[in-house]
Amino acid sequence: MTEEKKTKKAAEILVEELTKTPTNGTWLQRVGQSMLIPVLAVISGLFLGAVFIILTSEDVYAAFGRSIGQGLGASFQIVWESYSALFTGSLGDPAKISAALQSGDGEAIRRAFNPFFESLVASTPYIFGGLALALGFRAGVFNIGAEGQVFVGAIFAAYAGYAIQGLPAIIHIPLALAAGALGGAIWGFIPGWLKAKTGGHEVINTIMMNYVAFRLSEWLLAGPMKRPDSFNPISPTIAESAMLPRFFGYPIRFHLGFFIALLAAWFVYWFLFKTTWGFNLRTVGANPSAAKYAGINVTRYMVLGMTLSGALAGLAGTNEVLGLNHNLALAFYSGYGFDSIALALLGNNHPIGVVLAALLFGTMRNGATRMQVAAGIPIDIISILQAVILIFIAAPAIIRTIFRLKEREDVGGVRMVSGWGGN
Amino acid sequence: MTPVLELRNITKRFPGVLANDRINLSLEKGEIHALLGENGAGKTTLMNILYGLYAPDEGEIFVQGKPLTVESPSDAIDSGIGMVHQHFMLIPVFTVTENVMLGEEATVRGGFLDRKFTANRIREISEQYSLEVDPDVYVRDIPVGVQQRVEIIKLLYREADILILDEPTAVLTPQEADELFKIMNKLVESGKSIIFITHKLREVIDVADRITVIRRGKVVGTTTPDQATKEQLAEMMVGREVQLELEKAPPSIGDVILEVKNLLVLDDVKQVAVDEVSFSVREGEVLGIAGVQGNGQTELVKALTGLHDPEMGSVFLLGEDISRAKPRTITELGAAHVPEDRQKDGLVLSYSVADNLVLCTYYKEPYAHGVVLQQEPILQRANELIEQFDIRTPDAQTPAGSLSGGNQQKVIVAREFSRPTRFVVASQPTRGLDVGSIEYIHNQILKKRDAGTAVLLVSSELDEVMELSDRIAVMYRGKFVAIVPADQVTKEQVGLLMAGVAPDHAGVSEINMLGMEEGIS
């Protein structure tokens, strides 16, 4: 296979399920079509975010008090400052990078590149969470309980991390990862099983399971799992053999978890689209009646979908414990589980889309800290930005209206190829 | 006299398809104008343009001689055009009155709904056209035929003069269809004009004043029922000679394949739907089940295919008891099932044609090694079947949902009939299909029968049952009221049995007995 063909194949995989309706045209056009709405949503989000930045800036009001011109100048200034801080904070400051490279000082170089790696670190749990939700959606279940599963995964991973000592890392790390996945899986299985057996709706049950998980972790951290020498509700530090290795020296925290997440994304892709299990799962999600007709055990695959979704969410918590915090503290509130719902939608419930969306979310979250420091913009503006982007994603009609895109007439149940029916 | 409606040179292109190609159509006052064409010929597209759902690329619309631009359905409604869609736009949990007033609510005292006014208006309209609709009942509680009349009332309430009926008989029983035709005649007598979209030849001959035939987006011709025969119309529609009468070889009947004894099936609300039914189907024969829809056929088929466990009784397929078997077990024994509702049960619309073609065999060699799906064999198989069963699709990767109804059904038939099978259940196999597809599917069913497969055909189209079956079982209120050899009864006799008339009154008592014995043997 020539190199050119290889790239083409990779790109085709990228498109394959991102585009729900493969339309005519080259693969490049198809990529364009599937990415168009998300990209435009991000642009619109940034624009609306700018409006919020201006509206919340006292400097701008003061400048408008002096004159309109100064006000406009100040508005432009604050937006420019904020977004350049967002950019340098998440990807690195080009000036600093070149200076550090010229100086040749190892730590300076690492510091210069640190923002970029921090973004990857921040994206990692989002990848797991997004995959969890995407897999659930594909199986036709709405796993609102990812947040609770993240917690339970973290509890299991922390326990496996500190309670077992003296194992080599090559065994301890997989073991702790498996424990975290198991924790999440259990927390996903329960509502899945309840749905299958009693018809109890998973949305309600997973929300309730979230509360159980939160309170359970409080109790555990105040009691059985509490660090013996501490007054704070915090678990013991995990064994060094369970810590995910970091690739660069201080201060870069970039660790193995990112690659495990990419591996998980590949696995979910392979599982969903290349195996009979995935076929069953997707069929159950896409049309339960047809799945039953085709001889697929619908309830079994719903439960499986919830369980696997839980396992992936559990890995998000595991990743934070084994890769970053190295313990479990009461303050371990992530929000990943909830953000992941949105993220999965942004990624069109496709593993590749989820990875891209997770990178975007992680990058924005990371850059937001810098934006707060450099431009004095509240970190919440990033939440607003994310929310606005998601509103646009969830309602593509808004984007179509803003950018005057022509609606694809094959969407929305109108059959565009009906012309082939005749003889 | 100026026509009430005139379409001139309407053209509409979709990517890759010319859906309407310079179509001209005129509608006179007080006329039923049938728009005849196969599924996908462009009839519905044309009407959606007229109704403001699509913008035409070219062409003009005139109402009462005045040019009209319709940008949305409300423009169409304002100029007196109303449409009853194939799938009704009613809210089941609202009453008839509420549904009718929706969007055009009568109010009193600044904002309170005036249900009484609307209800009275509905009664008036109902009386004027003998629609027999009670304004106070919930839509979910009334039969499909009445729901359709509610849709018509919606248009009359909005004072539409031009009524577009899109495939109105697709969801109706023959009796309901006849009622609808009476109503249509009343409507035109009182000065309304109707565009009647259909692909059923009999209906066109029966009710239309003029017929315009569309094929592949073009008008083939306009004629009247007196000037054209069914055969001519079919040929215009399909573009080639169509064999309306089936050629059927005498059956060569063999061993019993399916044996059903005292089968009792409950429906979803735990009412008896199939009431201790016994019959058998043998190699090389078609047993047709005739009956008005809702007399237990759906539940019977579900019980036979493992989708619903029966309460009592037994089902033997090739000697194995399958009364409580899973669908896949039954499939693997050599059964095939063309389900009644192709979009709900038969297909995953978001999946490609290729994936739908392996929906029942994807887990087997060569389509999967272990748990890993094999894309190449799946695609190869799809391309073979697309070719062999003449499925009109851009390619095997196209989502099944974007095919026309006829081609969706061909996907199912291709999947089910291409497997080696000993027993086939075909439930409403041609519902909503065009002449060409019906002819094709009928021939496929007979081919299966001639190859020695036992075929159980369930259809509410009496013509279909009469033509294809070797024996006919008539189902009424969950019971088989008669099982008769197809060549010994008339259509009228079966029709009476379907309506619940006792066999001896329907004049079939002797052969009925004979048929029953044969059935139980």
The span from the CA of A148 to the CA of A313, in Å, is 9
The span from the CA of B291 to the CA of B304, in Å, is 18
| Residue whose token pair is 């040929």 | B235
Is the Cβ–Cβ distance between B257 and B281 less than 8 Å?
yes
Location of each CATH 3.40.50.300 domain in chain B: 5-238, 243-334+420-521
- All residues of chain A having their beta carbon less than 8 Å from the beta carbon of residue B44 are 418
The span from the CA of B403 to the CA of B396, in Å, is 11
φ and ψ at A17, to 5 degrees? -105, -10
pLDDT of residue A82: 87
Q: Is a pLDDT exceeding 90 seen at residue A137?
A: yes
**Positions of E strands within B74-209:** 81-84, 107-108, 112-113, 162-166, 193-198
Q: Could you give the residue ranges of the DSSP H alpha helices within A17-139?
A: 27-55, 58-66, 68-91, 94-103, 106-138
Taking only the tens place, the pLDDT of each residue in A10-55 is 445 444 444 444 444 556 666 666 677 778 888 888 888 888 888 8
pLDDT of residue A342: 83
Flag the least confident range among A329-338, B67-76, B208-217, B247-256.
A329-338
- All residues of chain A having their beta carbon less than 8 Å from the beta carbon of residue B329 are 295
With bands split at pLDDT 50, 70 and 90, how would you rate the model's confidence at B413?
Answer: very high
With bands split at pLDDT 50, 70 and 90, how would you rate the model's confidence at A333?
Answer: low
pLDDT of residue A16: 46
Q: Which CATH architecture has domain B243-334+420-521?
A: 3-Layer(aba) Sandwich (3.40)
CB contact under 8 A, A418 and B392: no
Q: A415 lies in a domain?
A: no
Q: Quick one: average pLDDT of B267-283?
A: 91
Structure tokens at A179: 């424990």
pLDDT of residue B435: 79
Q: A257 lies in a domain?
A: yes
Nearest Cα neighbor of A316 from A177, A212, A202, A191 is: A177
pLDDT of residue A31: 65
Taking only the tens place, the pLDDT of each residue in A204-257 is 999 999 999 999 999 999 888 988 888 888 999 999 999 999 998 888 999 999
Contact status of A26 with chain B (Cβ, < 8 Å): no
Is the Cβ–Cβ distance between A118 and A364 less than 8 Å?
no
Tell me how many domains chain A contains.
Answer: 1
Selected for mutation to probe chain A from B242, B307, B402, B441 (highest A CB count within 10 Å) is: B402
The residue count of chain A comes to: 423
What spatial distance separates the first Cα and last Cα of chain B, rounded to whole Å?
Answer: 68
Nearest 5°: the CA angle A126, A129, A130 is 80
Burial grade of A48 (CB within 10 A; 0-12, 13-18, 19 or more): middle
| Residue whose token pair is 């194939």 | B86
The span from the CA of B206 to the CA of B204, in Å, is 5
Instruction: Give me the residues paired with residue B143 across strands.
Output: none
Name the pairing type of β-strands B218-223 and B372-373: unpaired
Contact status of B166 with chain A (Cβ, < 8 Å): no
- CA distance to partner chain B, nearest, from residue A348 (Å): 14
Is the Cβ–Cβ distance between B168 and B196 less than 8 Å?
yes
Instruction: Give me the residues paired with residue B288 across strands.
Output: B457, B472
Which is higher by pLDDT, A262 or A197?
A: A262
Nearest Cα neighbor of A135 from A123, A121, A149 is: A149
Q: Which fold has domain B5-238?
A: Rossmann fold (3.40.50)
Contact status of B428 with chain A (Cβ, < 8 Å): no
- Reported ipTM: the value is 0.79
The span from the CA of B357 to the CA of B49, in Å, is 34
Question: Which candidate from A296, A410, A421 shows the least CB-CB separation from B392?
Answer: A421
CB contact under 8 A, A275 and B371: yes
pLDDT of residue A27: 61
- pTM (global) more than 0.80: no
Nearest Cα neighbor of B90 from B145, B143, B150, B135 is: B150
Q: Quick one: average pLDDT of A347-353?
A: 89
With bands split at pLDDT 50, 70 and 90, how would you rate the model's confidence at B73?
Answer: confident
CB contact under 8 A, B19 and A418: yes
> Using CB atoms and an 8 Å cut-off, which of residues 319-348 of chain B contact chain A?
326-329, 331, 337, 339, 341, 344-348
DSSP B429-458: TTTT--HHHHHHHHHHHHHHHHTT-EEEEE
Instruction: Give me the residues paired with residue A358 across strands.
Output: none
CB contact under 8 A, B399 and A20: yes
**Positions of E strands within B292-429:** 312-317, 320-321, 335-338, 368-369, 372-373, 423-427
Q: Walk across the sheet containing B454-459 and list its strands.
A: B335-338, B423-427, B454-459, B286-290, B471-476, B479-485
Highest averaged pLDDT of the listed ranges B31-40, B111-120, B410-419: B410-419
Nearest 5°: the CA angle A187, A193, A196 is 150
- All residues of chain B having their beta carbon less than 8 Å from the beta carbon of residue A24 are 15-16, 394
pLDDT of residue B326: 93
Which amino acid belongs to residue A310? G
Domain that holds residue A173: 122-359
Contact status of A22 with chain B (Cβ, < 8 Å): yes
Name the pairing type of β-strands B312-317 and B320-321: antiparallel
Alpha carbon of B287 to those of B44, B174, B274, B370: distances in Å?
Answer: 35, 21, 17, 39
The span from the CA of B310 to the CA of A49, in Å, is 60
CB contact under 8 A, B327 and A279: no
Q: Quick one: average pLDDT of B413-421?
A: 92
Q: What is the DSSP letter of B487?
A: G
Q: Is a pLDDT exceeding 90 seen at residue A385?
A: no
Q: Is a pLDDT exceeding 50 seen at residue B445?
A: yes
pLDDT of residue A26: 59
Q: A83 lies in a domain?
A: no
| Residue whose token pair is 């081609």 | B407
pLDDT of residue B65: 87
For chain B, the C-alpha Rg in angstroms (whole number) is 25
DSSP B175-200: HHHHHHHHHHHHHHHTT-EEEEEE--
- All residues of chain B having their beta carbon less than 8 Å from the beta carbon of residue A287 are 344, 347-350
> Using CB atoms and an 8 Å cut-off, which of residues 206-245 of chain B contact chain A?
215-217, 238-240
| Residue whose token pair is 């979908």 | A305
φ and ψ at A325, to 5 degrees? -80, -35
Structure tokens at B18: 């010319």
Q: A152 lies in a domain?
A: yes
CB contact under 8 A, A24 and B15: yes
φ and ψ at A120, to 5 degrees? -65, -40
* Nearest residue on chain B to A270, alpha-carbon basis: B372
Q: Quick one: average pLDDT of B7-35?
A: 89
pLDDT of residue A18: 47
Nearest Cα neighbor of B460 from B494, B503, B505 is: B494
Selected for mutation to probe chain A from B86, B218, B348, B358 (highest A CB count within 10 Å) is: B348
**Positions of E strands within B354-421:** 368-369, 372-373
Q: Is a pLDDT exceeding 80 seen at residue B163?
A: yes
Q: A197 lies in a domain?
A: yes
Which is higher by pLDDT, A110 or B108?
A: A110
Q: Quick one: average pLDDT of B235-259?
A: 84
Q: A374 lies in a domain?
A: no
Nearest Cα neighbor of B302 from B331, B267, B329, B277 is: B267
The crossing angle, in degrees rounded to 10, of helices A298-320 and A169-198 is 140
| Residue whose token pair is 């609102």 | A144
With bands split at pLDDT 50, 70 and 90, how would you rate the model's confidence at B494?
Answer: confident
Q: What is the DSSP letter of A322?
A: I
- CA distance to partner chain A, nearest, from residue B42 (Å): 7
The crossing angle, in degrees rounded to 10, of helices A106-138 and A351-375 is 130
Burial grade of B178 (CB within 10 A; 0-12, 13-18, 19 or more): middle
Helix-strand-coil percent breakdown of chain B, rounded to 5?
35, 25, 40
Nearest Cα neighbor of B139 from B86, B183, B82, B97 is: B97
Which is higher by pLDDT, B460 or B442?
A: B442
pLDDT of residue A170: 94
Q: A273 lies in a domain?
A: yes
Is the Cβ–Cβ distance between B498 and B460 less than 8 Å?
no
Instruction: Give me the residues paired with residue B263 across strands.
Output: B277
